[in-house]
Amino acid sequence: MDILQYTDEHKAFRQRLKTFLANEVTPHVDQWEKDHIVPKEAWQKMGKKGFLCTWASPEYGGMNGDFLYSVIVAEEMAKTNHTGLCSMLHSDIVVPYINSFGSDEQKKKYLPDCISGDIITAVAMTEPDAGSDLAAMQATAEIDGDEIVLNGSKTFITNGINADLVIVAAKNPAEENVYQAVSLYLVEDGTPGFKRGRQLDKMGFFSQDTAELFFSNCRIPKENLLGQQGMGFMMLMEKLQQERLMCAIGGQAAAELMLEWTIDYCKTHTDASGKPISKLQANQFAIVEMMTEVKLGKAFLDQLIAGHAAGENVIVETSMAKYWITDLDNRIASRCLDLFGDFGLTEDCPIARGFRDVRVMSIFAGTNEVMKGIAAKFMGL
């Protein structure tokens, strides 16, 4: 029995998305990988078809879908074998901050365009000297009359080049308690004092525009404070369960896809004797072992998806899933590459891109060491 119960509406939505991706995304992925960016028009096409922020209220132009719609989008996007059109980050990590903590005015101003794809979002937490430890951030936000003045730098920001709206985490230097010093702010593209640095040249995620952002006496109106002053740390913590769950969902889909490629390759390519290499016992054992782990990950993940959709606190289990599934991605990628042999090293082979792309998944959204630390703490260790 399947843990997740998809309705006919879910299935029809998945099929529409598959058709859209086959026509509007997959044919362009190789070019986007070469360009190291996805054109904004692709985001707008996706939004106009209703594939962004599927959870959003019809009041803002959304479809009011349940969490399974987000799962479907994450899974199908992973099958395109690229990361540039990072709809999962936009729809299920960044924009929910606005929906949950934004004022009525902020939601009316930004949500419709976030849903349509006319606004692409990013969240700026990581700094050159502050990665997983948010309390160590150095970016500051100081009140000056009716304005807030931001200073500091951020790095490894996904959608950093394309972003029209950035949620920036910064701290009040006058507040001694670091956990009460952090607030979140909305910074629009074109704001004086907000500049983009270089687009980072990465070992993978080629089509994803990851960038540095700089804030130098960047003045925004007080109304651009997101939520309450000093509650930024708590707001970030509240949303991390979904962020890490989405990371695990994408990782699970990637593992399944890489194994699917490998099985197909082994069935259709022969050894020196003319037999499919899938008939070699060593290869059979490798595939069976990988498939077992993939199925274990799927069962665990589906249970967490169901719990999260029901509003349960599964932060410990999600931390476990995030670390285990993204570690699994790296094991699967390495072992599948062995089965492809020399062909796996060429850019004509999809596993080459998959191998590069999954490596960072154990690092972002909180390193896997941090995930284990969270679980250990809640286990009373």
Domain ranges of the chain: 8-119, 123-229, 234-378
* Catalytic residue (choose from 243, 293, 347, 369): 243
**Res 2: pLDDT:** 84
Model confidence at 365, pLDDT cuts 50, 70, 90, reads: confident
Reported CATH class of domain 234-378: mainly alpha
Model confidence at 89, pLDDT cuts 50, 70, 90, reads: very high
pLDDT at 51 over 70: yes
The reply to whether domains 8-119 and 234-378 share a CATH topology is no
Residue 33 catalytic?
no
What's the fold here for domain 123-229?
Butyryl-CoA Dehydrogenase, subunit A; domain 2 (2.40.110)
Interval 219-248 mean pLDDT: 94
Which tops the pLDDT comparison, 272 or 15?
Answer: 15
**Res 142: pLDDT:** 96
Q: What is the distance between the alpha carbons of residues 73 and 77, in angstroms, rounded to a whole number?
A: 6
pTM of the model: 0.93
Nearest alpha carbon to residue 197 among 153, 142, 233: 153
Interval 208-226 mean pLDDT: 97
Percent share of the chain, pLDDT over 70: 99
What's the fold here for domain 8-119?
Butyryl-Coa Dehydrogenase, subunit A; domain 1 (1.10.540)
Interval 77-103 mean pLDDT: 96
**Res 366: pLDDT:** 87
Model confidence at 82, pLDDT cuts 50, 70, 90, reads: very high
> Model confidence over 292-302: pLDDT tens digits?
999 999 999 99
pLDDT at 358 over 70: yes
Interval 237-263 mean pLDDT: 95
Model confidence at 272, pLDDT cuts 50, 70, 90, reads: confident
Of 37-41, 109-113, 272-276, the one with minimum mean pLDDT is 272-276
**Res 1: pLDDT:** 67
> Model confidence over 326-356: pLDDT tens digits?
999 999 999 999 999 999 999 999 999 999 9
> Model confidence over 102-128: pLDDT tens digits?
999 999 999 999 999 999 999 999 998
Mean model confidence pLDDT for the chain = 95
Interval 23-49 mean pLDDT: 97
Model confidence at 130, pLDDT cuts 50, 70, 90, reads: confident
Model confidence at 132, pLDDT cuts 50, 70, 90, reads: low
